[in-house]
Chain A
Amino acid sequence: QVQLVESGGGVVQPGGSLRLSCAASGFTFTTYGMHWVRQAPGKGLEWVAFIRYDGSKKYYADSVKGRFTISRDNSQNTLYLQMNSLRAEDTAVYYCAKVSGYHFDYWGQGTLVTVSS
């Protein structure tokens, strides 16, 4: 069955960096695009970034453009999110999600990122 397991969350100071990982299994990772979606405490879901199946194209929400980088290692079935210049408003649970067509069909359980001094 499809499994997505995020890791790498933690506490980081404002202006700092963090790299999240999402280990994928149970499907052919190399043929699917992937998303990152986040959820601030007590708030709604926010789409963050998308990467095509082969990593050739990457797209970002305006709120993270220029600070976050989505990438993938298809040899390791792993998705990444490099987060730089972190701000308090980036505090959230970060989910990875598998693409199917134009929607998100499987989700990980999320990893918490807290930006605080």
Chain B
Amino acid sequence: QTVVTQEPSFSVSPGGTVTLTCGLSSGSVSTGFYPSWYQQTPGQAPRTLIYSTNTRSSGVPDRFSGTILGNKAALTITGAQADDESVYYCVLYLGSFIWVFGGGTKLTVL
């Protein structure tokens, strides 16, 4: 069974930069997995941030960027703000119309 891995938690100082990663239990993440990233605050539906590795969804500030770093997908937040404090999920498309979510990274801004 394929597991998508994310850091359980991360912290960043206001104004700082943080990179969250998304890997596979076995193998490397490439653009062919069409990695996407979602932000969720408590009690709210997820919000789409990044898709197809590095394309920002409409209305998402350019402080959020996506890329492939080594064998993982990565989401970088530059100039972190207090309202970036959320859980961030990545999703990988495994092919054959199967998607798998990572376990999410809880980001604290302090």
Contact = CB atoms under 8 A, between A and B. Distances in A.
A102 B99 CA distance: 9
Interface in B4-44: 34, 36, 38, 40
Contacts of A101: 34, 51-52
Interface stretch (A18-26, A75-83, A106-114): A106-114
If over half of B's interface residues share one DSSP class (helix, strand or loop), that class is named, otherwise mixed; here it is strand
A45 interface: yes
Interface in B64-100: 87, 89, 91, 93, 96-100
B97 A103 contact: no
A80 B40 CA distance: 24
A69 to B, nearest CB: 15
A50 interface: yes
B98 A102 contact: no
Contacts of A106: 48
A27 interface: no
Given A45-B104, A50-B99, A59-B97, A103 B34 contact: yes
Given A45-B46, A59-B96, A110-B45, A103 B36 contact: yes
A45 B1 CA distance: 17
Contacts of A47: 91, 98-101
Contact of B51 (A35, A45, A50, A103): A103
A105 B45 contact: no
Nearest to B33: A102
Nearest to B32: A102
8 contacts: A45-B89, A45-B104, A47-B99, A59-B97, A103-B48, A103-B52, A108-B45, A109-B45
